[in-house]
Structure 1
């Protein structure tokens, strides 16, 4: 009972916090930036994760009474969210890489239109990819169930190896390489700014402030990616040992650990982003219902 209450509380908190992120970025025009559009996509994925977490309560209890079709749909949505999450992390890494390493070309390379196209492609490609990985399970949802009330999925060795490469190894390698480059450039910029003792003009001062803002965003999103790795790595490391050796309860536990990442992301935003804290206050006070509230100064 305590476990059920805990999971239900995490689910409610995940849905509520990510809903605040979605409302904040969608409503206030000042927040309609390419980087925030990526955070909006990530929040939408995390919101869906919060809803899917309720299904883990049934799996932990080993009593799935929603039928084989809903079982197949549930696991498809779980796999879809994993792919979309890692895709969003790659897009965020690319965004920060361009912003820090090529700031002069950032406004022309990273536009809102291009980001929207990339986000849509991320969702569509993830859905297509997972439909291929789970094609046999989707055709015959109850093929792996040994008794009534069970909901389990088994991926063969080839599909598991492909999923490990495309859903974990390759994107995580790209993320780490990009952020190592971002870290090196950010450190060199910080040293250059500290050693700069000559008086600066107002224009240069604005440029320096902008660079500081970009580095702060890179640091914050770097924390998001680090937390993501901590939550997802255990599941994939254990999958290397073979999921067939794990019980359903253990699988459910490690999936729940991945799901907890969706609850942590909004908490990171609230801790590091003043605009998110300000937006929450306006939303809670229902000031978003006022005329022209979307034009409010959030930044």
Structure 2
């Protein structure tokens, strides 16, 4: 119950998407790169659709987390009333639903004719049109970056002003003040972690979308395509590593699960915070 918070629910959504990338997409990409795709034309389209789904959910979860951090730091008085478990669950459901609808729209033609772009046995190729590619770049890259950057800049400014205010009143030591400072430090740490996740996302995503823009002019070869797709997938690998590095309770929880202590009676009462 200690971890049943609105922020952790958003982290869970991103973690599930990242986990599915590692469990399903990376092995299938290895299979595809070996030129021995034997799962059929329909599964080829499903493979691309599912890739678009989980990547979109991961990015959408990042946007939702940034909104959560913005409200928590910039409007802390209204956080508990505006950000409730019910609303967060609704937002997560909408994120997954929207990602599925977007993927279905992008691959609508190949869903009707799965072998449209397959020229030989053992290949798995899907071509995205210019309009669909442009919409994908705006929704999955430019839009999220703009939203997160604006919110993060606001969070940074508020965090700096609050840190200065706390330092100016450092002489006033009370239990209530101590708890407020501790809570604020926790919120700022969460925002800083999100900032690192955003930087990693940019480093992993920029090559892919630069490739997408250059592909029309045949400026890059197939080997480059493989590399940039792997970078996109590696972003899902880096996200949990970042949170494990910055949050001791994440490490404790993972250890609790993998050592099967979670199956013992009263395990839910173990302190991980």
TM-score of the superposition, structure 2-length normalised? 0.95
Pairs within 5 Å for 1:47-66? 47-50=19-22, 51-66=24-39
- Mind listing any 5+ residue stretches in structure 1 that lack a counterpart? 1-28
CA contact under 8 A between 1:59 and 1:248: conserved in structure 2? no
Ranges in structure 2 where 5+ consecutive residues have no aligned partner: none
Higher relative contact order (CA 8 A, sep 6+): 1
TM-score by length of 1: 0.87
- Matching residue within 247, 253, 260 for 2:227: 253
Secondary structure in structure 1 of the residue aligned to 2:116: helix
Partner of 2:50: 77
The question of 1:266 aligning with 2:240 is answered yes
Residue aligning to 1:233: 206
Cα RMSD over matched residues?
1.4
Distance in 2, Cα, partners of 1:129 & 1:283: 34
* Distance of 1:251 and 1:164 partners within structure 2: 16
Aligned pairs for 1:94-109 within 5 A = 94-109=67-82
Q: CA-to-partner distance for each residue in 1:69-93, whole Å, 9 max, x for gaps?
A: 1100000001111211111111011
**Structure 1 CA distance, aligned partners of 2:138 and 2:251?**
38
Q: 1:13 maps to what in 2?
A: none
Aligned positions, number: 271
For residues 286 and 167 of structure 1, the distance between their equivalents in structure 2, rounded to whole angstroms, comes to 37
- Please say if residues 211 and 225 of structure 2, whose CA atoms lie closer than 8 Å, have aligned partners that are also in contact: no
Superposition deviation, residue 244 in structure 1: 6.8
**1:286 equivalent in structure 2:** 260
> Aligned-pair distance for 1:243?
5.2
1:31 match = 3
Question: Which residue is 1:139 aligned to?
Answer: 112
The structural deviation recorded for 1:121 is 0.5
State the secondary structure of the residue aligned to 1:141.
coil
Contact 2:211 2:228 in 1 (8 A): no
Q: Give, in angstroms, the shift of residue 200 of structure 1.
A: 3.0
Moved over 6 A (4+): none
SS at match of 2:26: helix
